[in-house]
Amino acid sequence: MFDCAYKPLPTGYVLDVYRFEQVLGSPGAFGITYAARERGVDRRVAIKELFPSDFVVRRGSDRVEVQAGSLNDMFLEAKRMFQQEAEILSQVKHENVVKVLDYFEANGTGYMVMAYEDGYDLGDHLVSQRPARLNENELRNLLMPLLDGLQAVHELNYLHRDIKPSNIYLTRDHKPLLLDFGAARQIVVSRTRAIEQILTPPYAPFEQYAQSLPQGPYTDLYAMGVVSFVALFADERFPHAPDRLDKDPFVPLQKRLRGQEYSQKFLEALDWALQFRAQERPQSVVAWRNALAPHPKKVVRRESIQPRKSKDDAKPRVMAITFGIVIAIAALVAVVAYFLNW
């Protein structure tokens, strides 16, 4: 008999070479994340257990099984996609993307092992900054490393699909990290829940609500744009994508913040990512990163600047000119005398 639909693995539980310590955050509809320690090397890691709570339960203390035999194919597909996500992310060798160290199956389900980072998420950081907001340099210094990491993910033809402040982690040495990718979760859980219950408004663009619409890098860039908006207006609600369909209430940032401490170029770039229509947004990380970059400083070519002559350097030239004048006068006098005698 099944004990309950949701029950995390107990503290001290040993699986493979890992000893589980505690649950991290709140369990979602797709899985449970734990802090654990790798025995032998005493390395702390984070382990995500595949646990789609809509159609699995835990039997006893560890075994994960489907609630009914008819759900078995769905669970097998979830495991396949979970493993695929782990394999793709393990190929991303970028310091601003969470590192996937291992994947294995046990207890009837899958486990993704990731590097553990000590820090806090961007959402907590923005709350602690209220009522202040990030200035242009702070926001750019946050976005640029994340975009570098996101580009590395996109180059593997994979999307994050769930960028939001709680999925951006700030380590103790202020390094931003992208974590908790939502691609597999949204595809699997959408079979048992309405899409509105899976997405995180207002960060999801309209194409994520309408599953027939294509998604691409512009989908993640919209979410990154909303993250930027929240960093600028912490207490203001950005409109949900479906609310922008008829009469868009969004006021462009270049209009709202004109004349303040933000450059026009930077605000235009943010507005570009926040366009409602996917085709009107930047189509690649490279395009948006270039738009966000500050104006290049004018560089004066060194070879065009001539060194100033000192007074001592000028003396030989003055003497040469004077000597030439004397010789010319002497020659003129000689010519005149010659003709007078003649």
Helix, strand, coil percentages for the chain (3-state, nearest 5): 40, 15, 40
Look at residue 61 in the predicted model and tell me its pLDDT: 87
pTM of the shown model: 0.82
Domains present along the chain, CATH in parentheses: 1-116 (3.30.200.20), 118-297 (1.10.510.10)
Please report the pLDDT score of residue 184 as a whole number.
Answer: 76
Distance set, CA 305 to CA 301, 302, 308 (Å): 7, 6, 9
Residue 5: the pLDDT is 59
Please report the pLDDT score of residue 160 as a whole number.
Answer: 94
What is the rounded distance in angstroms from the CA atom of residue 205 to the CA atom of residue 200? 10
pLDDT recorded at residue 4: 53
Q: Which parts of the chain register pLDDT below 70?
A: 1-6, 187, 189-192, 296-342
